[in-house]
């Protein structure tokens, strides 16, 4: 899906088989949903080689979820914007969440999966209360804005600094963001909400409350940090 996926598992070597199953799941979802692979079902849907009614049940399920998220965000998240069908703003986080579920169901209790900086965490590393994830400075690859603590939760980030202007936005200059990170219990939802907040520049985001316990940390083009009051964010320096 255009990025690398890192598995960090704290446990005995015998758990490798479970990780292998999770990796195989991610690869299978990529083969179905990747917009980079010409033979994926999504690519077939995009170019008309496949009708939606003939797509795999999992494809119809994901697209139905994307439709629901589009409605719940008042259109800020739109997997059908422009001429192309592209559920990437949801499906990457959804797939990584599915891999985490495979590992949790097999009994793994302490692990982290990172897909291009979108992270799902379970438990905590031995001796620590939580996993610590850094939010990168959008303008400096070697600097961080601060950190968040993750325990049985997730964080997703949308922005320009990794892949350029790949997100269609409605934000004017006053609301333009360079990145927005969303924390919450489910990585798929966090991924979609981050995409929606970035696209809208935080304007008219009253819909955020419809998703429950999700918080954001955003960076504006003039380097202001905006965040939800309850966001578990520790700045690297005083802001």
User: According to the model, what pLDDT value does residue 174 have?
Assistant: 46
Question: What integer pLDDT is reported at residue 165 of this predicted model?
Answer: 46
pTM of the model: 0.89
What's the total number of domains in the chain?
1
- Determine contact, residues 31/25, Cβ cutoff 8 Å: no
pLDDT at 116: 87
pLDDT, residue 215, reads 95
What confidence score (pLDDT) does residue 175 get?
A: 57
Residue ranges in the chain modelled with pLDDT below 50: 163-168, 171, 173-174, 238-239
pLDDT of residue 166: 43
Per-residue pLDDT tens over the stretch 171-229: 454 458 999 999 999 999 999 999 999 988 888 888 999 999 999 999 998 889 999 98
Residue 95: which domain range? 5-235
pLDDT value, residue 67? 96
CA angle 123, 127, 131 (to 5 degrees): 40
pLDDT for the residue 5: 94
For tokens 């905006």, the residue is 226
Say which CATH number the domain at 231 has: 3.10.520.10
Query: For residue 3, what pLDDT is reported?
Result: 85
pLDDT tens across 140-149, in order?
888 999 999 9
Q: How far is CA 136 from CA 20, 148, 167, 213, 219, in A?
A: 29, 11, 19, 23, 10
With residues binned 3-state (H G I as helix, E B as strand, rest as coil), the percentages for the chain, rounded to 5, are 35, 25, 40
Alpha helices in the chain (DSSP H): 16-33, 41-46, 57-72, 88-105, 187-200
């Amino acid at each position: 899906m255009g990025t690398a996926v890192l598995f960090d598992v704290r446990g005995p070597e015998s758990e490798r088989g479970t990780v292998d199953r999770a990796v195989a799941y991610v690869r299978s979802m990529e083969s179905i949903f990747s917009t980079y692979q010409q033979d994926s079902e999504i690519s077939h849907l995009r170019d008309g080689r496949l009708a939606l009614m003939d797509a795999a049940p999992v494809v119809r399920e994901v697209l139905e979820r994307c439709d629901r998220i589009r409605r719940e965000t008042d259109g800020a998240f739109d997997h059908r914007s422009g001429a192309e069908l592209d559920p990437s703003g949801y499906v990457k986080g959804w797939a990584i969440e599915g891999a985490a579920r495979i590992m949790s169901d097999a009994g793994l209790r302490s692990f982290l999966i990172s897909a291009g900086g979108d992270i799902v965490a379970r438990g905590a590393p031995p001796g620590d209360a939580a996993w610590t994830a850094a939010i990168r400075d959008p303008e400096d690859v070697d600097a961080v804005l601060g950190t968040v603590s993750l325990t049985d939760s997730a964080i997703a980030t949308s922005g320009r600094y990794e892949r350029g202007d790949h997100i269609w936005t409605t934000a004017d200059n006053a609301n333009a963001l360079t990145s927005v990170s969303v924390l919450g219990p489910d990585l798929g939802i966090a991924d979609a909400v981050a995409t929606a907040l970035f696209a809208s520049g935080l304007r008219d985001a009253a819909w955020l409350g419809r998703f429950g316990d999700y918080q954001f940390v955003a960076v504006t083009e003039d380097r202001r940090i905006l965040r939800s009051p309850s966001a578990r964010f520790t700045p690297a320096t005083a802001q």
